A and B are shown apart, each in its own frame.
Chain A
Amino acid sequence: MSARAGRTSLALLALLLSLIGAGSLGAQRVDPLARAMKAYTDLDYDVAAQTFRTALALEGAARLADEDRVRALMHLGATEVFRGRRDAAVVAFRSLIVLDPRFRPDIVVFPPEVSTLYQESRIGVRATSVLVPATANIRTVADRLPIRIFSASLHDVRVTITDGLGAPVRVMYDGAVGDSLDLLWNGRDGLGRLREEGRYKLRVTSRSFEGRDEREVEIPLTLLRVATDTLPWPAELQQNAFRPETLITTEGRKYLATGIVAAALVAVLPAVVGSDNEGSTLRFGVAALLGAGGVFGLKRASRPIAIAENMTWNRERRAAYAREIDRIRAENDVRRASNGLRITSGAPVIVVLP
């Protein structure tokens, strides 16, 4: 290999490595609060407060994601505590509580004066957060959409389902909530009717002690009718599923021979055992019975003989089949009547009411 070719290879390798490095850097998430966080950790609280506020003021595509807003507000509040600006800290904390009433500061990260002020700031903040699953299927009368509401503080809350135009469909709850509240919606209105397809809203309204609506969390709901699967009919009972109900035998002559031979044997039984005694004449009754039995056996063998236990077994089999048909019919009637719903929930929107 020449020296020139070697240099060219090294240059290509370097270019390749630099491209890989650039790709790796591009894949890393750039922290929008990096500058503010650096100022905070450098104890440069004035710069940190300014930078956090600038980041929080961003709108449009640059608007902070909710988790970044929570982090920014928490650190802004802490920064203001360290700057001795308690009121500004309370404002930041309350904005955070409205955004996420369930949030609690990490006591390992933040000193007690910050955590304490945060807890004090919760008092009087009438805000809620609402959790609903992304999708819920209402297939049977037992199915529900679970709704979990978390409250920042004890206050009155009204939970309603409205249609797309805002008309109330059902009031789910109206009363005080201290910490959390669990509700279930079955997709029906206040009269128990399953709602039609369409767009709806779950509204959780926080109210002041005077009864004035202050703040609302709205979650868009989309109801979609879902055809409920019905159970298939069982396979028809085939002939081989049953036991034969009659017996046709071709051994009639054998029965007759058995009867005649047995009758003759009974008649001569004393002699068979080697006795000269005449024996009881009653044995001729048994002989007659055996002979008649043979004749009857011959006659009976020429026609089908009902097999009672097989008939019973078959009858029970048919009854069980009929019961299964009835069960499936009833189940399918219920399923058709319930006509399932699929409820899809969207992202919550916080509305501050005038």
Chain B
Amino acid sequence: MLATRPALAQRAIDLSGGASVSSMGLSRVGTTTRTLTGPVLGAEGRIAFKRVELRGRYLEGSLSPESGAFGGAEDLADLRLLLGADVGAGITLSVGPHLRAFVSPGGTASWTRIEANVRVDRTLVPRLARAELEVSYAVSAEANVLGGGTGATGANLGVLFALPTWPVAVRLAYSADQATYASGATEFLDGLEIGLRLRRP
């Protein structure tokens, strides 16, 4: 997102958006271990006014059991909204709701979290690439299965290629998210994401 900073400095309201495709894997470890993988499509948007920003991201995809595993496929739907502030030095602090649902023929497992988020942007190659690190911590995590949720932590780290004169940036990132149920079960979701970001020229 920092690739858009020069434009942000010139304009009162900065708009950007993007789309991504991920190859995600879900590993749920409890009394049994269940692993699913599959493609996930995503869309994201950002509106910023001076140092304040509102970001949103939606992911949806179908995860299928790896060969040999039992059980059916699950559909993933994930929505996150973050209201944040740029505190300088390339650091943005945000907070917002994070909703996630795994829909299967047997029912829907859903998460409702309030997450605190820290994003750090650093130049990797001047005027060409930036490194983006994002860490989320759930200050509140609720789940409707396995006795409810007790906590969740997530991180996303990637590289953003963006030429200053181009309105399009390419992003490659790896994300990982671990959630814990009250029953002691864990749910680990990770994946590789390739995306495009567009900003208002």
**Whole-angstrom distance between the alpha carbons of A317 and B2 in the complex?**
29
- Known contacts A255-B124, A286-B172: does B25 contact A280 (CB below 8 Å)? yes
**Whole-angstrom distance between the alpha carbons of A300 and B125 in the complex?**
7
By the criterion CB–CB under 8 Å, are B23 and A277 in contact? no
Chain A window 272-312, contacts with chain B (Cβ cutoff 8 Å), 1 for yes, 0 for no: 11110101101101110110011011001100010111001
Residues of chain B contacted by A262 (CB below 8 angstroms): 122, 124, 131, 133, 157, 159
**Secondary structure call for the B interface:** strand
Does A334 lie at the interface of the complex (its beta carbon under 8 Å from any beta carbon of B)? no
Q: Which residue of B lies closest to A265 (CB)?
A: B157
Of A269, A286, A289, A300, which is within 8 A of B128 by CB? Answer: A300
- Known contacts A265-B157, A280-B23: does B125 contact A275 (CB below 8 Å)? no
- Known contacts A273-B154, A282-B23: does B133 contact A247 (CB below 8 Å)? no
Does A266 lie at the interface of the complex (its beta carbon under 8 Å from any beta carbon of B)? yes
Task: Return A229 CB to nearest CB of chain B, in Å.
Answer: 41
**Whole-angstrom distance between the alpha carbons of A254 and B133 in the complex?**
16
Task: Return B100 CB to nearest CB of chain A, in Å.
Answer: 15
Does B126 lie at the interface of the complex (its beta carbon under 8 Å from any beta carbon of A)? yes
CB-contacts of B151-192 with A (<8 A): 153-155, 157-159, 163-165, 172-174, 176-178, 186, 188, 190-192
CB-contacts of A209-246 with B (<8 A): none
Does B129 lie at the interface of the complex (its beta carbon under 8 Å from any beta carbon of A)? yes
Residues of chain B contacted by A111 (CB below 8 angstroms): none
**Whole-angstrom distance between the alpha carbons of A275 and B131 in the complex?**
23
Q: Which of B129, B186, B192 has the most CB of A within 10 A?
A: B129
By the criterion CB–CB under 8 Å, are B191 and A280 in contact? yes
Residues of chain A contacted by B174 (CB below 8 angstroms): 266, 269, 280, 282-283, 286-287
Does B62 lie at the interface of the complex (its beta carbon under 8 Å from any beta carbon of A)? no
By the criterion CB–CB under 8 Å, are B27 and A277 in contact? yes
Task: Return A335 CB to nearest CB of chain B, in Å.
Answer: 41
Q: Which residue of A lies closest to B132 (CB)?
A: A262
Chain B: interface residue total (CB-CB under 8 A):
35
**Whole-angstrom distance between the alpha carbons of A94 and B163 in the complex?**
90
Of B23, B125, B133, B176, which is within 8 A of A255 by CB? Answer: B125
**Whole-angstrom distance between the alpha carbons of A255 and B124 in the complex?**
5
Does A259 lie at the interface of the complex (its beta carbon under 8 Å from any beta carbon of B)? yes
Task: Return B178 CB to nearest CB of chain A, in Å.
Answer: 4
By the criterion CB–CB under 8 Å, are A270 and B188 in contact? yes
Of B129, B157, B188, which is within 8 A of A297 by CB? Answer: B129
Does B123 lie at the interface of the complex (its beta carbon under 8 Å from any beta carbon of A)? yes
Q: Which of B25, B128, B178 has the most CB of A within 10 A?
A: B178
- Known contacts A266-B174, A308-B164: does B155 contact A273 (CB below 8 Å)? yes
By the criterion CB–CB under 8 Å, are B133 and A293 in contact? no
B residues at A contact (CB < 8 Å)? 23, 25, 27, 29, 122-129, 131, 133, 135, 153-155, 157-159, 163-165, 172-174, 176-178, 186, 188, 190-192
A residues at B contact (CB < 8 Å)? 247, 249, 251, 254-255, 258-259, 262, 265-266, 269-270, 272-275, 277, 279-280, 282-283, 285-287, 289-290, 293-294, 296-297, 300-301, 305, 307-309, 312
12 A-B residue pairs with CB within 8 Å: A259-B131, A274-B153, A275-B176, A279-B25, A280-B191, A280-B192, A283-B174, A289-B172, A290-B159, A308-B163, A308-B165, A312-B165
